[in-house]
Amino acid sequence: MSTLKKKAEVIILESKDDNPVNVPFVRMPQRNKLVKHLAGGEFRKYLSLGFKPQHLYIVTDEEIKEGDWYYEVGNSVPVKKWDNYLSIREGHNWCKKIIAITDTSLKIEIARGFKGKEYNLPKPSNSFIEKFISEYNKGNIITDVMVEYEGEYDSMYEGWYAETIQPKVDRNNCITITRSKDTWNREEVIKFGLKVLELGFDLAKNPLPRLNDKSGKEYYFNWLKQNL
Protein backbone atom coordinates (compact mmCIF):
# COMPACT_ATOMS: atom_id res chain seq x y z
CA MET A 1 0.00 0.00 0.00
CA SER A 2 1.14 3.53 -0.81
CA THR A 3 0.14 6.78 0.87
CA LEU A 4 -1.01 10.16 -0.39
CA LYS A 5 -2.52 13.27 1.13
CA LYS A 6 -5.88 14.76 0.21
CA LYS A 7 -7.43 18.06 1.16
CA ALA A 8 -10.34 18.05 3.63
CA GLU A 9 -12.45 20.56 5.51
CA VAL A 10 -12.94 20.86 9.27
CA ILE A 11 -16.44 21.77 10.47
CA ILE A 12 -17.58 22.39 14.03
CA LEU A 13 -21.29 21.97 14.74
CA GLU A 14 -23.48 22.12 17.81
CA SER A 15 -24.81 18.76 19.00
CA LYS A 16 -27.68 17.52 21.15
CA ASP A 17 -25.40 14.78 22.44
CA ASP A 18 -25.47 14.74 26.25
CA ASN A 19 -23.04 11.83 26.72
CA PRO A 20 -19.94 13.26 28.46
CA VAL A 21 -17.83 10.33 27.25
CA ASN A 22 -18.66 11.05 23.62
CA VAL A 23 -18.53 14.87 23.49
CA PRO A 24 -14.94 16.22 23.22
CA PHE A 25 -15.66 19.86 24.13
CA VAL A 26 -18.32 22.47 24.77
CA ARG A 27 -18.70 26.05 23.54
CA MET A 28 -19.39 29.15 25.58
CA PRO A 29 -21.82 31.09 23.32
CA GLN A 30 -21.33 34.45 25.05
CA ARG A 31 -17.59 34.57 24.35
CA ASN A 32 -17.42 31.98 21.54
CA LYS A 33 -14.78 29.96 23.37
CA LEU A 34 -14.28 26.20 23.49
CA VAL A 35 -13.68 24.25 26.67
CA LYS A 36 -12.52 20.65 26.80
CA HIS A 37 -14.33 19.02 29.70
CA LEU A 38 -12.67 16.37 31.83
CA ALA A 39 -15.43 14.43 33.58
CA GLY A 40 -19.16 13.80 33.62
CA GLY A 41 -19.85 16.07 36.58
CA GLU A 42 -17.95 18.92 34.99
CA PHE A 43 -19.80 18.37 31.72
CA ARG A 44 -23.20 18.65 33.46
CA LYS A 45 -22.01 21.83 35.16
CA TYR A 46 -21.09 23.40 31.81
CA LEU A 47 -24.48 22.47 30.34
CA SER A 48 -26.29 24.07 33.30
CA LEU A 49 -24.36 27.29 32.62
CA GLY A 50 -25.54 27.39 29.01
CA PHE A 51 -22.49 25.81 27.32
CA LYS A 52 -23.32 23.88 24.13
CA PRO A 53 -21.92 20.41 23.23
CA GLN A 54 -19.91 20.37 19.99
CA HIS A 55 -18.60 17.81 17.52
CA LEU A 56 -15.88 18.07 14.89
CA TYR A 57 -16.47 16.80 11.36
CA ILE A 58 -13.73 16.11 8.81
CA VAL A 59 -15.46 16.27 5.42
CA THR A 60 -14.57 16.09 1.73
CA ASP A 61 -16.18 16.46 -1.70
CA GLU A 62 -15.63 12.76 -2.41
CA GLU A 63 -18.35 10.62 -3.95
CA ILE A 64 -20.96 9.61 -1.35
CA LYS A 65 -22.04 5.99 -1.66
CA GLU A 66 -24.65 3.86 0.03
CA GLY A 67 -23.83 3.45 3.72
CA ASP A 68 -21.68 6.61 3.92
CA TRP A 69 -22.41 9.36 6.41
CA TYR A 70 -22.63 12.89 5.11
CA TYR A 71 -23.22 16.49 6.18
CA GLU A 72 -25.91 18.38 4.28
CA VAL A 73 -24.91 22.03 4.09
CA GLY A 74 -27.47 24.33 5.71
CA ASN A 75 -29.70 21.50 6.99
CA SER A 76 -30.86 21.56 10.60
CA VAL A 77 -30.03 17.84 10.85
CA PRO A 78 -26.30 17.90 10.11
CA VAL A 79 -25.56 14.18 9.99
CA LYS A 80 -27.30 11.72 7.68
CA LYS A 81 -26.61 8.26 6.31
CA TRP A 82 -26.94 7.78 2.55
CA ASP A 83 -29.20 4.75 2.00
CA ASN A 84 -29.87 5.24 -1.69
CA TYR A 85 -28.29 2.91 -4.26
CA LEU A 86 -27.52 5.97 -6.42
CA SER A 87 -24.29 7.70 -5.46
CA ILE A 88 -23.87 11.42 -4.91
CA ARG A 89 -21.00 12.17 -7.25
CA GLU A 90 -17.96 14.14 -6.13
CA GLY A 91 -17.84 17.78 -6.99
CA HIS A 92 -21.28 18.60 -5.56
CA ASN A 93 -21.65 21.58 -3.23
CA TRP A 94 -24.77 20.77 -1.21
CA CYS A 95 -23.44 17.91 0.89
CA LYS A 96 -20.06 16.68 2.12
CA LYS A 97 -18.87 13.15 2.83
CA ILE A 98 -17.87 12.64 6.47
CA ILE A 99 -14.58 10.75 6.63
CA ALA A 100 -13.96 11.29 10.36
CA ILE A 101 -15.90 12.66 13.32
CA THR A 102 -15.59 13.00 17.08
CA ASP A 103 -19.02 11.37 17.50
CA THR A 104 -18.17 7.72 18.20
CA SER A 105 -21.80 6.62 17.93
CA LEU A 106 -21.68 6.68 14.12
CA LYS A 107 -21.02 3.32 12.48
CA ILE A 108 -20.11 2.23 8.97
CA GLU A 109 -20.63 -1.23 7.54
CA ILE A 110 -17.71 -3.03 5.96
CA ALA A 111 -18.73 -5.96 3.72
CA ARG A 112 -17.16 -9.32 4.46
CA GLY A 113 -18.47 -11.79 1.87
CA PHE A 114 -22.25 -11.97 2.28
CA LYS A 115 -22.17 -10.44 5.75
CA GLY A 116 -21.33 -6.99 7.00
CA LYS A 117 -19.65 -5.83 10.17
CA GLU A 118 -20.10 -2.41 11.67
CA TYR A 119 -17.14 -0.24 12.64
CA ASN A 120 -16.87 3.19 14.17
CA LEU A 121 -16.19 5.99 11.75
CA PRO A 122 -12.57 7.17 12.02
CA LYS A 123 -11.95 10.11 14.33
CA PRO A 124 -9.46 12.98 14.62
CA SER A 125 -6.72 12.40 17.20
CA ASN A 126 -6.77 13.93 20.68
CA SER A 127 -3.72 16.00 19.77
CA PHE A 128 -5.58 17.51 16.80
CA ILE A 129 -8.66 18.23 18.94
CA GLU A 130 -6.50 20.03 21.50
CA LYS A 131 -4.77 22.00 18.73
CA PHE A 132 -8.14 22.91 17.21
CA ILE A 133 -9.43 24.18 20.58
CA SER A 134 -6.26 26.18 21.22
CA GLU A 135 -6.31 27.86 17.80
CA TYR A 136 -10.08 28.44 17.90
CA ASN A 137 -9.80 30.29 21.20
CA LYS A 138 -7.11 32.52 19.66
CA GLY A 139 -9.43 33.38 16.76
CA ASN A 140 -7.51 31.15 14.33
CA ILE A 141 -10.17 28.66 13.27
CA ILE A 142 -8.72 25.67 11.42
CA THR A 143 -10.89 25.03 8.36
CA ASP A 144 -8.62 23.25 5.84
CA VAL A 145 -6.30 20.32 6.49
CA MET A 146 -4.53 17.52 4.64
CA VAL A 147 -5.55 13.95 5.50
CA GLU A 148 -3.33 10.95 4.84
CA TYR A 149 -4.87 8.23 2.67
CA GLU A 150 -3.56 4.83 1.62
CA GLY A 151 -4.28 2.75 -1.45
CA GLU A 152 -2.85 0.86 -4.39
CA TYR A 153 -0.66 2.84 -6.76
CA ASP A 154 0.13 1.93 -10.36
CA SER A 155 3.79 2.90 -10.62
CA MET A 156 3.93 2.23 -14.37
CA TYR A 157 1.25 4.80 -15.22
CA GLU A 158 1.66 6.91 -12.07
CA GLY A 159 -2.01 6.57 -11.16
CA TRP A 160 -4.09 5.48 -8.15
CA TYR A 161 -6.76 2.81 -8.21
CA ALA A 162 -9.57 5.03 -6.92
CA GLU A 163 -11.63 2.21 -5.40
CA THR A 164 -8.77 1.25 -3.06
CA ILE A 165 -8.12 4.68 -1.53
CA GLN A 166 -9.22 5.08 2.09
CA PRO A 167 -8.22 7.36 4.98
CA LYS A 168 -5.28 5.83 6.81
CA VAL A 169 -6.02 5.12 10.47
CA ASP A 170 -3.85 4.09 13.41
CA ARG A 171 -4.63 1.40 15.98
CA ASN A 172 -6.93 3.85 17.79
CA ASN A 173 -8.94 4.45 14.58
CA CYS A 174 -7.57 8.00 14.30
CA ILE A 175 -6.79 9.62 10.97
CA THR A 176 -3.53 11.46 10.33
CA ILE A 177 -4.09 15.19 9.88
CA THR A 178 -1.46 17.70 8.82
CA ARG A 179 -1.55 21.39 8.01
CA SER A 180 -2.96 22.27 4.61
CA LYS A 181 -0.07 23.02 2.28
CA ASP A 182 -0.26 26.42 0.56
CA THR A 183 3.27 26.86 -0.82
CA TRP A 184 5.42 24.77 -3.16
CA ASN A 185 9.11 25.01 -3.90
CA ARG A 186 10.67 25.43 -7.34
CA GLU A 187 11.44 21.74 -7.81
CA GLU A 188 7.86 20.71 -6.99
CA VAL A 189 6.40 23.20 -9.48
CA ILE A 190 8.79 22.04 -12.22
CA LYS A 191 7.91 18.38 -11.60
CA PHE A 192 4.19 19.17 -11.70
CA GLY A 193 4.49 21.15 -14.95
CA LEU A 194 6.57 18.49 -16.66
CA LYS A 195 4.07 15.79 -15.69
CA VAL A 196 1.19 17.79 -17.24
CA LEU A 197 3.21 18.29 -20.44
CA GLU A 198 4.26 14.63 -20.58
CA LEU A 199 0.67 13.42 -20.31
CA GLY A 200 -0.47 15.96 -22.89
CA PHE A 201 2.16 14.92 -25.45
CA ASP A 202 1.48 11.22 -24.81
CA LEU A 203 -2.24 11.63 -25.37
CA ALA A 204 -1.62 13.63 -28.58
CA LYS A 205 0.46 10.77 -29.99
CA ASN A 206 -1.90 8.09 -28.65
CA PRO A 207 -5.48 9.42 -28.95
CA LEU A 208 -6.94 6.20 -27.56
CA PRO A 209 -5.44 6.09 -24.05
CA ARG A 210 -5.00 2.87 -22.17
CA LEU A 211 -7.25 2.08 -19.19
CA ASN A 212 -5.07 3.78 -16.55
CA ASP A 213 -3.92 6.75 -18.65
CA LYS A 214 -4.78 10.30 -17.66
CA SER A 215 -4.77 13.35 -19.87
CA GLY A 216 -2.68 16.33 -18.86
CA LYS A 217 -5.87 18.33 -18.32
CA GLU A 218 -7.34 15.70 -15.98
CA TYR A 219 -4.10 15.42 -14.01
CA TYR A 220 -3.91 19.23 -13.76
CA PHE A 221 -7.44 19.72 -12.41
CA ASN A 222 -7.25 16.70 -10.08
CA TRP A 223 -4.07 18.17 -8.58
CA LEU A 224 -5.72 21.56 -8.11
CA LYS A 225 -8.76 19.98 -6.47
CA GLN A 226 -6.66 18.02 -4.00
CA ASN A 227 -4.18 20.76 -3.14
CA LEU A 228 -5.80 24.19 -3.54
* Band of residue 78 on the pLDDT scale cut at 50, 70, 90: low
Task: List the chain domain ranges.
Answer: 2-181, 183-228
pLDDT the model gives residue 88:
75
- SS3 assignment, position 194: helix
Per residue in 136-189, pLDDT (tens digit) is 999 999 999 999 998 887 766 667 777 778 899 999 999 999 876 656 677 777
pLDDT the model gives residue 212:
46
DSSP state of 121: P
Per residue in 47-73, pLDDT (tens digit) is 888 899 999 999 998 888 888 888 888
Per residue in 12-47, pLDDT (tens digit) is 988 888 788 888 899 998 888 999 876 667 888 888
Query: Whole-prediction pTM value?
Result: 0.75
